[in-house]
Structure 1
């Protein structure tokens, strides 16, 4: 487990659910990550540092290994963290459990916990609803646009589309949740839908070399536009995804802007991860410095989403965006 600890040098008065803490005693926050400290993690830290609060951040990285999560929680306790920020569905459930398992052995049921970059916190059983979490010590952020917007974006880009596809990773609960959600929405809109699982290795984890066969299977099924869905694995394998999409001439829509900038996807409609982190910082500020109870705070929702189109990818696969979409999108090469 990789650990990085540093402090914000800002000064101020710290209020917590345990009472008033002296100004010279900074708030201790453990940031539990899945694949290192990326833009959302940095946005969270920047918000609290920019707000002038004394904070010590400790980044505890699970390195995409769920077996490390109990150790992450143990380390947070050892560090006497006053708040735990969890990145992603796997980390959030591994640290705090679900509604059904909350209070179980080895899970966090007492330290205030915030989640971010969770594709479907209600569907995955983390919270009861976005308005009332049903978890006394847990709330978080919701950064995903409605999947109806996903389908609308695909149709805006390719008005003639009749068949969409998705690759999913069975090792990530959020990935299978999105598979089922898109399947239902596509059926309701008269679209054909094909989902292909990315093959797993002997250790039960997906293999990068299985991305190309999955893309080939989608192409063979007649899929015209591919949606990434929700998958930290695919997000981390941009090179393999880019190669597969190019090889089969498949347009890909991603909820991760980074995949468009890495030439792995054609278009993204997404909230900026850095801004998601800052939104989580606002919640942390309310809990640590204003005395709010996590369970009394609704899940904070992102309101702004950006469209990004990679014209180099468009030229490579020969699928160009309509002028109307170009007028509202950021274009990258």
Structure 2
């Protein structure tokens, strides 16, 4: 009887160990460094985490998050602290300044890296061209459409009203790197459009929690000074477009409305038309890239690309107020994103 009991206990013990072995998951350590706490950054990161866990259920994904509070120097300091610990399986940077610091860090050359919510990876020196791979073990996607595509869209709306003179449009932006780069691309094409005349209106980029508020006030002041020469303005991608209440503040002080916005929330608030990759799309697409990197144990030979999912939005109330008919093709593209 004793022998039977011993054999039974040994069998149960062996079964338990086998079960634990089967249930144990391989773990991946992922570090995320955000540039600053604005909606596109925070929401993209949240969607990234959710999607990565969903598509890799057989792994334990251990995620550690840091925020550089809008400072490249702070991002560098964070990375220096991370480098003192065992190397993670993947480092993810969100937005331009954190990505710039990560790409420049020699401490993470051998660690696979992924960026998201970066407008201008070529100008940042990550790759020589879209479609190319980086030699520094980093990849990702640009989430912004080419300047020509955006200008073509706005020209199509303005042309429909058959104006006698071009619309003078203030390109409002901060000196944040990606914002300046995108505005330069738009201005380079300025003379190619019959109904568009772009005028750059900028404010210095200010770091920290109070930076967006300060930049908003400076842009409002600039628009107040120049409102007599403007028919509207363009909200370029970057921190400023994420400022809470910017559209309402400008309208209150100047009466001007955005004719084009590079985020959808601004169209809800009154921008005539907008096109952007939304945070859900950015995060999910980045998660699929992350899975590929973790499977390969490397980001090398994975080309930097542009996202292929964009949302078009229009505001019919603004169109009526400005007497600018929205072409039916735009309304079809906008689908559920027609606001009033």
TM over 0.5: yes
Partner of 1:163: 168
**Structure 1 spans left out of the alignment, 5+ residues:** 1-21
Shift of 1:200: 6.2
**Structure 2 spans left out of the alignment, 5+ residues:** 1-22
Partner of 2:183: 179
Q: Does the 8 A contact of 1:167 with 1:214 survive in 2? A: no
Q: 2:293 aligns with which of 279, 287, 307?
A: 287
The answer to which of 83-92 and 222-231 deviates more is 222-231
Partner of 1:248: 255
Shift of 1:313: 4.8
Partner of 2:339: 332
Q: 1:71 aligns with which of 49, 70, 77?
A: 77
Q: Does the 8 A contact of 2:111 with 2:137 survive in 1? A: yes
Structure 1 residues 200 and 38 mapped into 2: Cα distance closer, same or farther (>3 Å)?
closer
Q: 1:216 aligns with which of 215, 224, 235?
A: 224
Q: Distance in 2 between matches of 1:44 and 1:202?
A: 25
Q: Deviations over 1:257-293 (max 9, x none)?
A: 23223x16332111222111111111111111x2153
Q: How much is the aligned-residue C-alpha RMSD, in angstroms? A: 2.8
Are 1:89 and 2:103 an aligned pair?
A: no
Q: Deviations over 1:140-161 (max 9, x none)?
A: 1122111111111212222234
Are 1:108 and 2:114 an aligned pair?
A: no
Structure 1 residues 137 and 218 mapped into 2: Cα distance closer, same or farther (>3 Å)?
farther
Are 1:194 and 2:199 an aligned pair?
A: yes
Q: Distance in 2 between matches of 1:200 and 1:304?
A: 29
Are 1:35 and 2:36 an aligned pair?
A: yes
Shift of 1:312: 5.0
- Matched residues, number: 299
Partner of 2:235: 228
Structure 1 residues 319 and 200 mapped into 2: Cα distance closer, same or farther (>3 Å)?
farther
Normalising to structure 1: TM-score of the pair?
0.80
Q: Does the 8 A contact of 1:242 with 1:265 survive in 2? A: no
